Structure 1
Amino acid sequence: MKVHLFGAVSSPSCANYALQRTADDNAQQFPAEVVDTVKRNFYVDDCLKSVASEEEAEHMVNRLTDICAKGGFKLSKWISNSRTVLMSIPEERRAKEIKDLDLDTDQLPVERALGLQWCIATDKFQFRTSLQDRPTTRRGILSVVSSLYDPLGILSPFSMPAKLLLQELCRQNLKWDEVIPHSLSQRWRDWLEDLQLISKFKVKRCIKPNCFGRPDRAQLHHFSDASQDGKSTHAVKTKTKYWILNANSAARKIISRCITCRRNRGKFVEQKMADLPEERVLPDIAPFTNVGVDYFGPISVKRGRSLLKRRYSSKRIMDDGESLKCKPGCKRLGAFCETTNKDQCFGKASDKTYFATGSLIVKKILNEN
Structure 2
Amino acid sequence: MYIKKILWAIALIGLGVVGYFAYYIYSAMMVPNTAFNNEEAYIYIKSTDRYNDVREQLEPLLKDISKFDALAKQKKYINNVKAGKFAIKKGMSNNDIINSIRSKNIPVKVSFNNQNSIEKLAGRIALQIEADSISLLSAMKDDAFYTDNDFKNETALGMYLPNSYEFFWNTSAEAFRDRMLKEYNRFWNDSRLNKAKAIGLSEDEVIALASIVYEESKQSSEQPRIAGVYINRLKIGMPLQADPTLKFAAYKLPKYENTIIKRVLNIHKKIDSPYNTYKYSGLPPGLVAMPDLSAIEAVLNYEKHKYLYFAADAKNVGFHKFAKTLAQHNRNAKEYHTYLSSQGIYK
Q: Normalising to structure 1: TM-score of the pair?
A: 0.19
Q: Say which one has the larger Rg.
A: 1
User: Which one has the bigger helix percentage?
Assistant: 2
Q: Normalising to structure 2: TM-score of the pair?
A: 0.19
